[in-house]
Structure 1
Amino acid sequence: MKRKPEGFENLKEVHFCWQEEGGVCGTKRNLNKMAQSLLKTPPMPVRTKLLHHVGLSLYNTSHGFNEEEVKKKLQQFSGGSVDLQKEDNGIGILTLNNPSKMNAFSGVMMLQLLEKVIELENWTEGKGLIVRGAKNTFSSGSDLNAVKALGTPEDGMALCMFMQNTLTRFVRLPLISVALVQGRALGGGAELTTACDFRLMTAQSEIRFVHKEMGIIPSWGGATRLVEIIGSRQALRVLSGALKLDSKKALHIGMVEEILQSSDETECLKEAREWLQQFTNGPPEVIRALKKSVSSVKELCFKEALQTERDLLGTVWGGPANLEAIARKEKFNK
């Protein structure tokens, strides 16, 4: 007995011919109904649903993580700010602003980073994001005052879970992101660059994972993401050697996409905008669906990622941008 392919059992009005390979053909007048039915079947697995739930964190009380307690502790360490500028073209500029300490993250800045991520989660017109540091440097990582005060293993684990939660939500943003590395990106600053989709460097800038020299390992998800970017062998060399990655070395191993022409703060931001715009030109709903589709592959199994791609297609197929492109009858193979 020939078995119907999974997902087609409820299609009653389409006339099928079942072939030996399990293929399906239907009458032309029912193809639209078939497509509509496919978009409704089957329900997404629980893990996929959770992934697309805005605000989902990796850790909660079942992992021994109490977010409110961590926030109270971080609030004690003031200094600096994380600023967000949202432009009309759908590109946001996220600036780490603590120049007196090379834009090191104070406790308050860690809290503000989470607040800005939540704001970006709700920015429906957003398409792209540039992450940068004030005064021509990126970030030297965590403020040592907070590190010294949070000296117990329990404090370290709690801070680790807080920042992993924040940066995982950052990675899942439906925005194409780029880290603009001016000056130095050290420790946690280097980890933050790995949370972006792309990295650009100025000629004199440097990325360095200094964790080994501090007697620790990356704890904001940086090691995991670094392996995704440059592979396990290169990542092990970079981390265990605490290597100084200047712009040429970083470009050679695939850590960054390009070295910018200018090192001037204003000019390199302009270059970064122009570089990012080649990927964000188009309707927000299409750019955001593309980013979600690619991001899902990092966390879902192959079958679930395919289902996510299908569900995202249902949000743009037949939409304004799709219908407008069809009406223009443009040839894309020129």
Structure 2
Amino acid sequence: MPKPVDLDHTADIARITINRPDSLNALTKETIEALSDALDRTQDARAVTITGAGDEAFIAGADIGYMQDLSTTEAYEFAKIGHDKVMRKIAGHPAPVIAAINGYAFGGGCEVALACDLRVASENATIGQPELDVGIIPSWGGIQRLARLVGDERARRMVFFSQRLSAKEALEVGLVGEVVAQEELDERVRTLAEDLADRPKIALQAAKEAFTRVHEAPLSAGLAYEQRLWSGLFGTHDQREGMAAFVEKRDPIFE
């Protein structure tokens, strides 16, 4: 049996692929555990990408066949596993994480994309939180992150009516950052990852930390945290080198 998640970690860039194309890369408990392990093994990467195998789906959601007979207790545990082992690890990963959305991104798949730092979609991608169609609601941060990203009204409409957005529509509402042709997706995401890997690592990590506080704390607390992160970068190699290179009108050589 093929592994449910493939990891290609070379140099500074890690590529994670959900490898269940026959099931549209739906997330089972086993797949979640494998994805969690892959995220743990990429903590030293400078950029991480996540995509789905095949041409149809990024991640079509959590496996409904697995979920349909869960008890309330079992459902709570499944939700907790998704939060703790995947969504929080993506959002809290030291490196920027890019979602390469190459097809359907529904339910848990949309939530994986929402937990990422950047989202690039192919022209044939379709994105949504259609959980109400099967009598449930998003459970892995879909409502919380979606509302913060696209606004309350748009998020409510997407969830209440199980709206599925085309790649173009997702771009228009800010759900994804850019849309490219299907055959150009891998190369575009690779270029973004390489560009991120060339950025000053410690400063980039600090920037990501500061962004997480935008939605997790009052403005005053977020501003104070951002100030502490900023000042803590002074004295690092990359800060010294970056500013010296600027003054000397040359390209910096970051760690």
Cα deviation code 1:164-217 (max 9, x no counterpart): 222123211122122111121122111111111121111111112120101000
Moved more, 239-248 or 281-290: 281-290
Read off the aligned partner of 2:7 and give its amino acid letter: L
Match of 2:18 in 1: 96
In the TM superposition, what is the alpha-carbon distance from 1:133 to its structure 2 partner? 0.2
- Hey, what's the Cα distance between the residues in 2 that align with 1:213 and 1:227? 19
Give 5+ residue unaligned stretches, structure 2.
Answer: 251-255
The AA in structure 1 aligned to 2:48 is L
User: In 1, distance between residues paired with 2:138 and 2:2?
Assistant: 23
Runs of 4+ in 1 over 6 A off after TM superposition: none
Q: In structure 1, what is the equivalent of residue 215 of structure 2?
A: 298
Query: Which residues in structure 2 correspond to 1:1-334 (within 5 Å)?
Result: 80-88=3-11, 90-120=12-42, 122-123=43-44, 126-136=45-55, 137-149=57-69, 151-166=70-85, 167-261=87-181, 263-264=182-183, 267-328=184-245, 329-330=247-248
Change (3 A) 1:189 1:321: same
What is the distance in 1 between the residues matched to 2:248 and 2:148? 36
- Whether the aligned pair in 2 keeps the contact of 1:138 and 1:184 (CA below 8 Å) is yes
TM-score of the superposition, structure 2-length normalised? 0.88
Q: Is the 8 A contact 1:200 1:256 kept in 2?
A: yes
Deviations 1:44-86 (A, max 9, x none): xxxxxxxxxxxxxxxxxxxxxxxxxxxxxxxxxx985122222
Q: CA deviation at 1:279?
A: 4.2
Q: Deviations over 1:95-146 (max 9, x none)?
A: 11111111111221111122223223x32xx222211001122111122332
Q: Aligned partner of 2:199: which letter?
A: G
| 8 Å Cα contact 1:127-1:287 kept in structure 2 | no
Task: Give the TM-score, by structure 1 length.
Answer: 0.68
Contact 1:127 1:288 in 2 (8 A): no
- RMSD in angstroms over aligned alpha carbons? 2.2
**Alpha-carbon distance in 2 for matches of 1:310, 1:217:** 37
Structure 1 SS opposite 2:6:
strand
1:138 is paired with a residue whose SS is strand
Kindly, what percent of the aligned residue pairs are identical?
A: 26
Task: State whether residues 251 and 259 of structure 1, in contact with CA within 8 Å, keep that contact through their aligned partners in structure 2.
Answer: yes
Aligned pair count reads: 247
